[in-house]
Amino acid sequence: MELLRFFTAGNVDDGKSTLIGRMLFDSQSISTDIIETLTRQSRATGIDTGIDLALLTDGLRAEREQGITIDVAYKYFTTGKRKFIIADTPGHIQYTRNMFTGASNADLAIILVDARHGITDQTRRHSIICAILGIPHVVVCINKMDLVDYSQDVFSKISADYRQFADPLELKEITFIPVSALGGDNVVTPSQNMAWYEGLPLLSFLEEVPIERTLPRETARFQVQYVIRPQTEELHDYRGYAGYVHSGSYHKGQRVTILPSGQDTIIERIERHQTEVELAETDDPVVLHLRDDVDISRGNTIVPQGSLPRVEREVSATLCWMDNTSYVPGQKLYLQQNSFRTRALIKEIQSQIAIDTFEQLESDGQIRLNDICKVLIRTAEPVVHDPYHQDPATGAFILINENTNNTVAAGIIE
C-alpha cells in the first residue's frame, strides 16, 4: 500500500488542527478509547456536546492553553486505499523553521485559507516555502465556507487571487477545494451545501493523487548506517552493511560502486529481517554483503554502477536557520546527511530569500532565526548527493554547531 506524506499550513485560526481532526474522525481512523478521552478533555474546556477535533493534533499542554500549534504534530492513519503521515505545522511567522522541517519530506501540501479573509501574508510565505522545497502538489483548502454562506463567488475569487500570486512561483500542481472543517463539508464526504463544486472531497483527493518519485526506479541509493562485524567463532568472517534503501532497488549479483572511494564490487547476499532475499526495494531495511573486502564505513553510499550521484566538497544549498543564536562568520559546523557527518564551513552567503515576495536580496553577512538563504558550503569530506528536487533522501541535510551540538540549520542541496 502506497504512503502519502503531507503537511498542513495556514494562519493561526484557519482551522488546520480541526481539519485533520475532522478527517480522522469522519474516516473512522480514531479508536474508541481515544474518542472517550477527547470527549472528557473537551468537556473540561467547556464543550458540552461532541469533541474538540483540534485536540487530536494539538498534543502539547502549552499549545492547548494558548490555542495554537507550536511544534510540528505528526499523525498516522490508513484508509482502504493508502497510508498517510500528516504533519500539522505551526501558523505563526516566528515558527518558519518548524514548517520548513515539517514540509521537507512531504509529497503534498495543504494550505488553508479562511474564506472570510482570503489570501494573507502567511498564505504567501507558506506557498513560497512549498516552491523552495519543490512540493509536487499544493492543495488550497478554502475553509470556513459556512461563514460566507457557502458562496461560489467567494471561492472563485480566492482561487483566482491565489493563482495570480502563485504564477511566478512555478508550483507544479495546484488544486482548490472549498471546505468547512467544523461541519465536515467536503472533508471526507461531498457537501450538500456546495452542490456547485464538482471536484472530489479532500480525503478522496488524497487517496487518488499521484505520488511523484522524481528519481527513476533504477536509480538506487543506499547509505551505510552500521558496519556489522560480530567477530565471534560462529560468525568469524561475517561482514554486513546495514541501512535502508532510500530509493530504487538492489538485487543479488548486482554490480555496485562504493562512494566516495569509487571502488567497484558485487552484491553477494542481501538479508532482510535476518532472512536472505533476492531483492531489496525502497524503504526496505537490509544488510548488504559484498563479494570483495573493500574499505567501507558508516555514512558511505552504495549505488549501482553507471548510476552515480554527485560527489563534491562544495555544495550550493538553501538554508533555513533554526537556532536562536545568529550565524557567526567562520563558525565551526558539522554537516549531517542521514548517517554521514563531516566538518563544514559556510564559505559564502550568496543571497537572502525574502519570504514575503520570493525575491533574492543581497545578504548583509548575517543569518538569523527563521532566515532562508542561499549559501555555498565547504566540507572536509566529499558529500555524496543528488539535488534535493530529484531525491530528498540524499539532497537534504542539517548543520550542527560543533561546540554545542545544537542543530542550527536545515538545508537542501541545489
Domain residue extents for the chain: 3-208, 221-304, 310-413
Q: Which residues contact 380 (CB under 8 A, 6 or more apart)?
A: 313, 342, 343, 344
Tell the CATH superfamily of the 3-208 domain: P-loop containing nucleotide triphosphate hydrolases (3.40.50.300)
C-alpha 266, offset from chain centre = 33
Is pLDDT above 70 for 69? no
* Element housing 110 (H / E): strand 108-114
Q: Does domain 310-413 have CATH number 1.10.3720.10?
A: no
Tell me, yes or no, if the two domains 221-304 and 310-413 fold the same way: yes
Strand ranges in 210-327 using DSSP code E only, listed in sequence order: 221-223, 226-228, 240-247, 249-251, 255-259, 263-272, 275-277, 279-281, 285-290, 301-304, 310-321
Q: What is the pLDDT of residue 226?
A: 94
For the entire predicted model, the pTM comes to 0.80
Read off the pLDDT band of 400 (50, 70, 90): very high
Q: What is the pLDDT of residue 121?
A: 86
Q: What is the pLDDT of residue 71?
A: 52
The DSSP output letter for 189 is B
When mean pLDDT is compared over 8-17, 49-58, 68-77, 301-310, the highest value belongs to 301-310
pLDDT in tens, 224-244: 999 998 766 666 678 899 999
Amino acid identity of 359? E
Read off the pLDDT band of 56 (50, 70, 90): low
CATH of 221-304, one of 3.40.50.261, 2.40.30.10, 2.40.30.270, 3.90.1150.10: 2.40.30.10
When mean pLDDT is compared over 53-57, 71-75, 152-156, 214-218, the highest value belongs to 152-156
